[in-house]
Amino acid sequence: MKRLSIHKKQNVMRVTLAEVARRAGVSIVTASRALNGNPLVAEATKDRILAASTALRYIPNLLARGLVKDRTATVGVIILELANPFFAPMVSGIQAIAAKRAFLLVVGESRRDEEEERRLVAQFQQLRIGGIILNPVTDTLDHVMAVRSAGTPVVVMARRWEHGEYVATDDVEGGRLVAKHLLQRGYRRIGLVRMGDPNHAPVQARVQGFREVLGAAGLGIPDAWDVQVSGAQITDGIEAVERLLLQAEYPSALFVTSDRKGLGVIHRLHERGLRVPEDVAVIGYDDIPYAECARVPLTTIAVPKRSMGEMAADLLFQRHDGVGPVEPRQVLLSPKLVIRASCP
Q: Is the pLDDT of residue 6 over 70?
A: no
Is residue 267 classed as helix, strand or coil in its secondary structure? Answer: helix
Q: Is the pLDDT of residue 10 over 60?
A: no
Domain range 171-302, CATH architecture? 3-Layer(aba) Sandwich (3.40)
Q: Do the Cβ atoms of 242 and 268 come closer than 8 Å?
A: yes
Q: Give me the residue spans of the domains in the chain.
A: 17-60, 74-169+305-333, 171-302
Whether the model clears a pTM of 0.75, i.e. scores above it, the answer is yes
Q: How many CB atoms lie within 10 A of CB 173?
A: 17
Q: What pLDDT does residue 152 have?
A: 94
Assess whether the region 17-60 and the region 171-302 belong to the same CATH fold.
no
Separation of alpha carbons 194 and 152, rounded Å: 35
In this structure, which topology does domain 74-169+305-333 adopt according to CATH?
Rossmann fold (3.40.50)
Q: Is the pLDDT of residue 171 over 80?
A: yes
Q: What pLDDT does residue 1 have?
A: 44
H-helix or E-strand containing 216? helix 201-216
Pairing mode of beta strands 154-157, 253-256: unpaired
| CATH number, domain 17-60, options 2.60.120.200, 1.10.10.10, 1.10.260.40, 3.20.20.100 | 1.10.260.40
Separation of alpha carbons 129 and 343, rounded Å: 45
Q: What pLDDT does residue 58 have?
A: 84
Closest CA relative to residue 174, chosen from 185, 158, 189, 190 = 158
Of residues 244 and 31, more confidence is placed in 244
Q: What pLDDT does residue 67 have?
A: 47
Write the pLDDT tens digit of every residue in 104-133. Answer: 999 999 999 999 999 999 999 998 999 999
